Amino acid sequence: MKYELVVFDWDGTLLDSAGAIVRAIQAACRDLDLPVPDNARASHVIGLGLADAMRHAVPDLAPENYQAMVDRYRFHYLSGDHALTLFDGVPAMLARLHAAGHILAVATGKSRLGLERALDHSGLRPFFSASRCADECHSKPHPQMLEELMAEFGVTSSATVMIGDTSHDLLMASNAGVDALAVTYGAHPHDHLLEHAPLACLHDVAELDAWLMSNA
């Protein structure tokens, strides 16, 4: 076993939620009469902690309006998150990795409350041994999430791999000294992910699963 600890991002990697996040950011801006970011700018912030994401998506947002923006974003996202689905093949892939003895974990820009809700709704909770969220650690690309997960299980950086759909995931992995895999079906485009030199760019869950079966 090359990778004892396999860490997944959530939104855009396991859950097909990138579009819903973009729409919620844009709707929150409309509610507050703020400039509405285009799809590319709104999708770029996916994976960051919520406060950081709002600051990047709406650079002119005044500090006193941060909380209102976060509240409106949550309103729009949570009104439809029950309809979001996992990418095809995710449960089977996680079940196989879990059965093979890998330690599975989540490192996400979601809040703890948001991740707990998502774990329950998706049915994926039994597969994961631990998780870290942006409201209890530094936001990506800071390495704290990965460093804490490795410390929790006593796993070295060489035995850890991070899987995500954004440059924030890949930079976090680099900052923690761990290998990274990019998936191109989420928030960030293929060319942007390649700039950060992942081990591979996988175009769907079937390709990701096949890579892990052969290399993990």
**Catalytic residue annotation:** 9, 11
The DSSP result for 41-80, as a single string, is HHHHTBTB-HHHHHHHHSTT--GGGHHHHHHHHHHHHHTT
CA–CA gap between residue 204 and residue 159 (Å, rounded): 24
Angle subtended by helix axes 18-31 and 66-78, to nearest 10: 130
88: exposed, middle or buried (Cβ count in 10 Å: 0-12, 13-18, 19+): exposed
Q: Which residues contact 71 (CB under 8 A, 6 or more apart)?
A: none
64: exposed, middle or buried (Cβ count in 10 Å: 0-12, 13-18, 19+): exposed
CA–CA gap between residue 127 and residue 146 (Å, rounded): 18
